[in-house]
Amino acid sequence: MKLYEGVFLVAICFHAYTQLVKGKPQPREGCSTRCGNVTIEYPFGTSSGCYYAKDPSFKLTCNEKKKQLLYRNLPVISISHSSELRVRVPPSYSCYNSRGNLSDWLYNNFTLGDFTLSTKNRLTAVGCNIHAFLSIYGTNSSSGCMSMCDSRPEANEECSGKGCCQSSVSRGDKSFEVQAKSFNNYTSVQSFNPCNYAFLVENGSFNFDALEDLKNLRNVTDFPVVLDWSIGQQTCEQVRNTNICGGNSTCFDSTRGVGYNCKCFEGFEGNPYLSYGCHDIDECTSIRHNCSDPNTCRNTRGSFYCKCQPGYRLNTNTMSCKRKDVGWTIIMLGTVIGFLAILLGISCIRQKTKHRKNTELRQKFFEKNGGGILIHRLSGAGPSNVDVKIFTEECMKEATNGYDESRILGQGGQGTVYKGILPDNSIVAIKKARLGENSQVEQFINEVLVLSQINHRNVVKLLGCCLETEIPLLVYEFITNGTLFDHLHGSMFDSSLTWEHRLRIAIEVAGTLAYLHSSASIPIIHRDVKTANILLDENLTAKVADFGASRLIPMDKEQLTTLVQGTLGYLDPEYYNTGLLNEKSDVYSFGVVLMELISGQKALCFERPHHSKHLVGHFVSSTKENRLHEIIDRKVMNEDNQWEIHEAAKIAGKCTRIMGEERPKMKEVAGELEALKVKATKHKFSDQYLEQDEHLLGVQIFSAQDIIKNVPILDNEAGR
């Protein structure tokens, strides 16, 4: 009965083994494992069934007489599992007699089967005035180096071109020839260098000796050379589970670019090409562990650890065991935990206190900046105010990344403008406004209410505000194409504004100011009209912005006495002298903007001569002296638009008269510019297409007076 049980157990083990190695070729039993002093390991072998049968390159020959293992008649030095085969290769040479004639030579050529040359080799030449060549069969490519000398080099000369040279070898060459050729009269060096040599050699295996090698290198019969080998023609990804790698090993793609190789896992050793080739390394029985006391070493599968006796702990710096100090450890641990708990409690209390103070401060700022009044006004102002939003301070911080300097779009007298990104990813412009005395809170609230209701296509829309900060924040729609100042004076953009663009922009700005002065529910004076406060969108449509200096005009007043505020160059001289603000101040500033559009020059430039630093004075004097053509921007003037530009210049001159009562109203200015545009259009097409225009388009040509009369209608249509 016991005999039957033993046979049954053997059968089970054999069946398990065959299932494990099924599909993975293995060497048969009885294969030779040594030839001479070289160990033979699979996938290499010397007889049928002992080498990887799918590739005959793995078959080696054992010369029993010479006790020498051969690969294609090249003596094998060693076989590496990591895809390298080291062999010995003889040198090529050419020898010369005393008359300089070739007397003996040998050019070696090699065919390596499926194996290839490794880049760990060097092509080396020894001799004077020679070329060494490595020619690749089947291609026109070759590599080599040149060695020159007219006398014997110094004894300590390195292999760097004098008597000896080296060059690198490319990966993947299978069939090649090595040659050494002289290119000069050889009689001058024949006495100390009778022969020239060219050979392949493994890196670091040849040290040049000028005294010996130039004379007697033929005494060296061969040199070590490294060949690369791999399994098959496919990568690990392509062969997947059909690779021949055994247990406890892994497949990796060959460095020579073809096939794959196997290697043992970390902590294992053996032949990874055998089913059970890789076995665990017992680090504790070798010097591979770092435990200070070998008795504490414990081996694990693929690794090890150092185990201390009870009552001891492992010092990972010295890998030695130290007695545990339990009492002090508990005391220190308790102290640390108690200290951390106290710190955590203090931190929580401080955070709550800070949060409460911040909440109180935000509420204080909110009331100071008129938040209560604004909410009251919004709650009773009707459905038209549903778009007005009051933002929190936290929302504004997140939108501007903590008011980061990289988010600043611009800075001016009315505040700093930041680029903001709201939680819904919409982009806005956030301005830190500068508020005056507390008595102005009511006006600020009224301004927010009025601007939030303006839906004029040429006014930057106010989306909301934040009152929880010391300085109120205003949130506007984001305009992408910079300011009119940038386009005119090249701060950010190359000027591409034609006269048609400039006239249209002037009409849009004039119409907007006329709307604010006359058609808004409460008249608004902008008070800081300038090219830097006129934004342009992607279609070059004008958007009037920055109402930080604006003032609301009560219905029963035509002017206000205020602290003078504005920008030099654009500031109304009458307002500057009297402090009396009215809509004619905006008319003056617009006149300066119109002059900038015509001339392309800045309103105030200290680089110009003294008499022309101010554009208004320069413009007026040029007009009186009939020199207007000198200051008109040459980029826009041509034969077709000279009349239009001169007419626009006249309008600019009217707007900048010293006395405010002599200036036209913005409604009249807008009408004259519209009339100018219509007349210009009629003038351009009247000669050739007048009859066709009247018949096909039905265009009715209005007079300037007709358009001026219709400005209120145009304003209302452009408004809400």
The residue from 528, 546, 586, 715 that is catalytic is 528
**Residue appearing with tokens 């080998």:** 229
Residues 6+ apart with CB under 8 A from 439: none
Ordered DSSP codes for 1-48: -HHHHHHHHHHHHHHHHHHHHTTS--PPTT---EETTEE--TT-BSST
The phi-psi region of residue 59 (left if phi > 0; otherwise alpha if psi is between -120 and 50; otherwise beta) is beta
Nearest-10 crossing angle of helices 642-655, 615-624: 120
**Residue appearing with tokens 């936290």:** 394
Contact 169, 200 (CB under 8 A): yes
Ordered DSSP codes for 512-542: HHHIIIIISSS-EE-S---GGGEEE-TT--E
Where is 573: in which H helix or E strand?
helix 573-578
Q: From CA 299, how far away is CA 314, in angstroms rounded?
A: 16
* Residue 154: C-alpha distances to residues 162, 192, 331, 397 (Å): 9, 12, 74, 76
Query: What is the widest separation between alpha-carbon atoms in the chain?
Result: 135
Tokens of 48: 């049928």
Contact 435, 444 (CB under 8 A): yes
**Residue appearing with tokens 């090529």:** 92
Which residues face 466 on adjacent strands? 473
Q: From CA 590, how far away is CA 571, in angstroms rounded?
A: 10
The phi-psi region of residue 180 (left if phi > 0; otherwise alpha if psi is between -120 and 50; otherwise beta) is beta
- Report which DSSP code applies to 659: S
**Which of 594, 576, 610, 575 has the alpha carbon at shortest distance from 653?**
594
Q: From CA 442, how far away is CA 237, in angstroms rounded?
A: 76
Where is 688: in which H helix or E strand?
helix 666-692
Contact 169, 119 (CB under 8 A): yes
Annotated active-site residue 528? The verdict is yes
**Which of 227, 226, 207 has the alpha carbon at shortest distance from 217?**
207
Contact 494, 636 (CB under 8 A): no
Q: From CA 624, how far away is CA 619, in angstroms rounded?
A: 9
Where is 236: in which H helix or E strand?
helix 236-239
Q: From CA 249, how far away is CA 489, in angstroms rounded?
A: 72
Buried b (16+ CB within 10 A) or exposed e, 464-498: bbbbbbeebbbbbbbbebbbbbbbbbeeeeeeebe
The phi-psi region of residue 109 (left if phi > 0; otherwise alpha if psi is between -120 and 50; otherwise beta) is beta
Which residues face 123 on adjacent strands? 167, 200
> Which are the catalytic amino acids?
528
